[in-house]
A = this chain, B = another copy of it.
């Protein structure tokens, strides 16, 4: 039986999961692939612990380039993370003609264009199912399963940490800070959670999804990114009264004049499946012109789920090592020479509906002033809630849902609303997507 030799770079959570899955399911994987996929070299810090985990028969060392320089190795599995050493090692492996499987979304979102171009030159594969939505085979769905479609839009819950926090805020009425503390205590959030809660991780993934959906180069630096750290508990309550839930979505949308690529908290109707994805789970909703709506759900992180995606890539790569490039699925779904430089639209040109919450003095005419400003700016209103103030309370809340409009109109309207003497504090603005 053909044997594929793997060099495993990183033996942390994901790396040890990959090792475990390849070992536990070796027979099943061979029955599927017709190959024996064997880890022959592991690079990781802490050699004593590594030796204990991998047993006596596998070469171990601490220098990532040992994998690149081992001529017997067919495939580099990069599950170390980071965008500096990882980039150098991946490029060096490609230069040596090795296949690459990686779980590294940051690396590909930032350096993908360079990496895919070099891989194309060398005729090697770069597989990255594990980089987006963990165990969910969404890369395969977008690149292959929906290949007949012109993709119109996708929207994904692609960061488990933030989805866990948002679920806690809604279910338990917690503040953001309290829900974050829960997430940290339970291991769903890191000690420094910035990358997750500010939407950067989701934007890396959305960048890759957008490229595969529309056949465009990765454009992470053009993504609009807004995290969840400023969300207030009362917005979950008002959203619920209006029939919506708040989720951090990574969204890619095709427009005639470009694409939208954005990550932000989003109100979505509570009857949509995506609104009911709770805790640390992920899901991606994709709308194509032929298929209509589809959704893919599963664990977005974790040792074995991520390993499931890495090993699925290994099976694909093992099957196709000796096959010419033209027979392989292109990195970003479209053939490298067919990517089109469609621009990502600037934030003020994005189109969505909006949820606005204004704290207002309890005076007659405030609602009329606000709705007049929105009308002036060409923003039409879908629904209004005005909270009944408690006896003697000097201010109250007005909540407005708008129809779809261009962001710059809302910006202009908010500026004017905040200038009203009856509006003492800044207006909360969240985006709304119907997903239909």
Interface of A toward B, CB cutoff 8 Å: 2, 17, 21, 24-25, 28-34, 129, 135-137, 140-141, 144-150, 215, 271, 273, 276-277, 283, 288-299, 302, 304-305, 307-312, 314-316, 319-320, 322-323, 326-330, 333-335, 338
Contacts and interface: CB of A to CB of B under 8 A. Distances in A.
Contact of A141 (B140, B289, B299, B327): B140
Given A136-B294, A276-B276, A297-B273, A148 B335 contact: no
A330 B315 CA distance: 12
Nearest to A339: B31
Contact of A289 (B2, B25, B136): B25
Nearest to A33: B147
A140 B145 contact: yes
A300 to B, nearest CB: 11
Contact of A296 (B28, B294, B310): B294
A44 B229 CA distance: 60
Contacts of A150: 24-25, 28
Given A137-B141, A144-B316, A276-B276, A31 B215 contact: yes
Contacts of A320: 327
Interface centre among A24, A299, A312 (most CB of B within 10 A): A312
A357 to B, nearest CB: 28
Contact of A295 (B31, B141, B298, B312): B298
22 contacts: A2-B326, A24-B289, A32-B215, A32-B334, A34-B326, A135-B294, A136-B294, A137-B140, A144-B315, A146-B308, A147-B316, A148-B309, A148-B312, A271-B276, A291-B304, A291-B305, A292-B298, A292-B299, A294-B296, A294-B297, A319-B327, A323-B327
Contacts of A144: 137, 140, 144, 312, 315-316
A290 B146 contact: no
A38 to B, nearest CB: 15
A312 B33 contact: no
A338 B335 CA distance: 34
**7 interchain residue pairs of minimum CB distance:** A137-B145, A148-B311, A294-B298, A135-B291, A31-B338, A291-B308, A290-B308
Given A144-B315, A147-B312, 7 more contacts: A129-B145, A145-B312, A271-B276, A289-B304, A291-B308, A291-B309, A294-B299
Nearest to A281: B293
Contacts of A329: 319
B297 A32 contact: no
Contacts of A335: 31-32, 34
A316 B297 CA distance: 24
Nearest to A215: B31
A325 B419 CA distance: 70
Contacts of A326: 2, 34, 319
Nearest to A151: B28
A29 B277 CA distance: 32
A2 B327 CA distance: 11
A290 B21 contact: yes
A295 B293 contact: no
Nearest to A2: B326
A299 B291 contact: yes
A30 B150 CA distance: 12
Nearest to A287: B298
A290 B305 contact: yes
Contacts of A307: 148, 290
Contacts of A296: 294-297
Contacts of A17: 290
